[in-house]
Chain A
C-alpha cells in the first residue's frame, strides 16, 4: 500500500513546473518534502488533488495501485486522498459542521444517512484534541478565521475524514509555537500503519513535532535529494545553496 508518484510532469499555461518527479510513500510512513519557495511543492499537492489549473503532461500517480490522475477531484478524495491546503478557502454561509457532514455523507453508500449523533460526538472529541472552541462548528467554513485557526480547521477535517493518505501543505506556516504543537498532536494522533503522510514544509521546525521517516528535497520540479531526518537539520543550518551546487554538478 502506498502513494506512488513516477516521473510526474505538470504545467500550467506554457510553464512547466513539475519536471519528472518521482517519490513513493508507503502506508505507515511520514515523508517530508522541503524545498525553496517556488520549487513546486504546492503544485505537487494540487496536481495530486486534481486541480484543473494544472495539466499533467507525463508520468503517473497511484494510490494503493489505483490511477488517481484519471479521477475527478472529488473521486480522489473519496478514494482516500486528503490535502490540507496551504491557503484554506473561505466558504461563506456554509457552517463548518454542515460542511463536514456533507463531506462524510458523500462517503456513505447510496441511501444511507449519516448518524447525526455519532457525528457530533466524534467532531467534538476531535475539536477537543485540537483545542478548538465549539463555536467553530456553527461558523462559516474558514470565514474570518485567523491563519492559525484555518490550519487547525484543516487538521480537524483530516481527523474527521480519516483518509488513507494526507498531503499537508505548509501546515506550519502562520502558526505560533503553541498552535504548532497542538496541530502536530492532531497529526500524530492520526499516524497509523494504514495511513501515509506527505508533509510539505519550508522550515525544519515542524519536523521537531511531526517526526518524518524520510526527507525529500524538491528543487525546480524534481526531487534532488532524499535522506533521513538529519537532512532537514542540515538544510535548516546551511540553506539550499550547497544542494543547488550539487544539482548543477550532477546535471
Chain B
C-alpha cells in the first residue's frame, strides 16, 4: 500500500489528486447480470435487493438515452469502459484513526475531519463504492436518529427502509435512476424519529479516487412527524484523462410537519458525467428544501423535485450553477403540487463563463382540482463572455384559476464597462469578475450554512481566476 501522493498530483484545487488503487473487490468493466451478482455477493445483499437490481438492469437497458430533449453529449458515455464497483473490502470505521492512511489523508485534504469537529452532528465519507468512515454523535444517536450507509440501512433497518426505498423515485423514472437502481452502492440512510430536531447538520462526502469508474450512491432520508434535519453533501473527483460517471439517486420523505433541508456543494472535475435524480415527498405541512450548488463536471443533469402530497406542504429549490468552458450545467427543478394550499418556490441562478453552457429546465405542475396553490419561479442567468450560453425551458402547467403563480427570468452580462470600472480601482480582471459573480449570487449564498458559503466563494474565485488565465 502506498501512502504518498502520486506524481500527477496537483494541489491547485483541493480535489485534484488521487492515490494508487488497492481494491480488493473490482467488478470489472461493463454492467451485466453477472456484474450485479458480483456486487450482490460482495455486499451480501438480501434476495429482495438482488431482484430489485436485476429488474432495474433490464429497465436500464430498455430505456433509450433521453437525447430527444437532452444533450447528445450523453452518447459519449462509454458504459462498457466503466467499472461499476470498487472497494477495499473494509467496513466503514467509526474512528478516523482506523481509516486506512491514504483514504484518511484524502479526507483530511478535503477538510472533512476538521468540519466534523467544528460543526457536524455526523459524517459519512464514501471512497469510490463504499463508505470508509461513518460516525454520528452519541447524543444524536441516543435520540434514536439513524445515520448509516445504505447497505447497512437496508439490512439493519429493513422495516423502515424498504417501504420507502424506490417509492419516491421509481426505478423507471429515467434511464439513470434505473442505472443507479441496478448498481447502487453507498450513500446514506437516515431516519429521524418523531419530534426530534437535529441541531447540527449531518454530512456525507462522496469521493471518487479511481479512473474509469462509476459512483452510484443511493440516499434515503426519512424524517418522521414534526422532526427536523439538515443534510449536506459534498463531492469531488480527480481530473483523469478519461471520463468518470456519477449517477446518484436521492429520495427524501418528510412526514407530517417535518422539515428537511438538503444542501449540496459539488465540485466535480471537468470530465465527470454527473447524472443525478433527486426528489422528495412532503406530507401535510411538511417542508422539503433543496439547496444546490453545481460547480464543475463535464455534464450535470439534475432537477431536484418536491412532490407536495399533503395539505400546506412546501417545496423549495435554491440552486446555483456555474458552467465554465467545456462544461454544461443542465439543472432545474420539479414541483408537483398534489394537495390544496401547497406552496413551492424555485430560485435558480446560473453563471456561464467562456464557452460554458447553462440550461435551466423547470417543471411546475398544479392540477385543476386543487385549491390555493402557489408557485414562485425565478431564474436568472449571468453571462461572462460573449461566447457563453444560457437556455431556459420553464414548463409551468397550472390548471384551474384558484392558484397564484409568478415567473420571472432574466439574462444579464458582466459588461466590459463594469470590469473596467473595477480594474480602475485596482482589481485584476479575474478579481473583478469574481466580485461580479459573487454579487450576482449573493442572496442565494446566504441560504447556505456559513461554513459552506465560505467554501463556495473560494471555489467560485478559483473558477474565475482560471477562466481569465
Report A81-105 residues with CB < 8 Å from chain B CB.
82-83, 85, 88-94, 98-99, 102-103
Enumerate chain A residues within 8 angstroms of B438, measured Cβ to Cβ.
93-94
Closest to A84 in B: B424
Enumerate chain B residues within 8 angstroms of A89, measured Cβ to Cβ.
415, 417-418, 420-421
Q: Are B439 and A74 in contact (CB under 8 A)?
A: no
Q: Are B435 and A106 in contact (CB under 8 A)?
A: no
Interchain CA distance A197-B75 in the complex, whole Å = 62
Report B411-435 residues with CB < 8 Å from chain A CB.
412, 415-418, 420-429, 431-432, 435
Closest to A160 in B: B425
Is B402 on the interface with A (CB-CB < 8 A)? no
Given known contacts A92-B440, A94-B435, A102 and B427 CB-to-CB distance under 8 angstroms: yes
Is A191 on the interface with B (CB-CB < 8 A)? no
Is B244 on the interface with A (CB-CB < 8 A)? no
Enumerate chain A residues within 8 angstroms of B435, measured Cβ to Cβ.
91, 94, 98-99, 102
Given known contacts A91-B418, A102-B431, A83 and B436 CB-to-CB distance under 8 angstroms: no
Interchain CA distance A50-B423 in the complex, whole Å = 9
Sorting the interface of chain B by its residue count into under 10, 10 to 19, 20 to 34 or 35 or more gives: 20 to 34
Q: Are A49 and B424 in contact (CB under 8 A)?
A: yes
Interchain CA distance A74-B419 in the complex, whole Å = 10
Is B442 on the interface with A (CB-CB < 8 A)? yes
With both chains docked as a complex, state the minimum distance between the C-beta of B385 and any C-beta of chain A, in angstroms. 14
Enumerate chain A residues within 8 angstroms of B426, measured Cβ to Cβ.
74, 77-78, 103, 106-107, 161
Q: Are A77 and B431 in contact (CB under 8 A)?
A: no
Q: Are B429 and A92 in contact (CB under 8 A)?
A: no
Q: Are B425 and A157 in contact (CB under 8 A)?
A: yes
Q: Are A91 and B436 in contact (CB under 8 A)?
A: yes
Is A60 on the interface with B (CB-CB < 8 A)? no
Q: Are A91 and B417 in contact (CB under 8 A)?
A: no
Interchain CA distance A82-B424 in the complex, whole Å = 7
Partner of B416, one of A49, A52, A93: A52
Q: Are B418 and A103 in contact (CB under 8 A)?
A: no
Q: Are A91 and B423 in contact (CB under 8 A)?
A: no
Q: Are A74 and B418 in contact (CB under 8 A)?
A: no
Q: Are B436 and A94 in contact (CB under 8 A)?
A: yes
Given known contacts A93-B438, A102-B435, A140-B439, A74 and B421 CB-to-CB distance under 8 angstroms: no
Given known contacts A52-B416, A91-B421, A74 and B429 CB-to-CB distance under 8 angstroms: yes
B24-48 interface mask toward A, CB cutoff 8 Å, 1 = contact, 0 = none?
Answer: 0000000000000000000000000
Partner of B424, one of A83, A91, A140: A83
Closest to A98 in B: B435
Enumerate chain B residues within 8 angstroms of A106, measured Cβ to Cβ.
425-428, 431
Interchain CA distance A108-B304 in the complex, whole Å = 43
Is A235 on the interface with B (CB-CB < 8 A)? no
Enumerate chain B residues within 8 angstroms of A94, measured Cβ to Cβ.
435-436, 438-439
Given known contacts A93-B440, A94-B436, A102-B435, A88 and B428 CB-to-CB distance under 8 angstroms: no
State the A residues within 8 Å of B (CB): 49-52, 72-74, 76-78, 82-83, 85, 88-94, 98-99, 102-103, 106-107, 140, 157, 161
Interchain residue pairs with CB less than 8 A apart (15): A49-B424, A52-B416, A52-B420, A74-B426, A77-B426, A91-B422, A91-B439, A93-B440, A98-B435, A102-B427, A102-B431, A102-B435, A103-B422, A107-B426, A161-B425
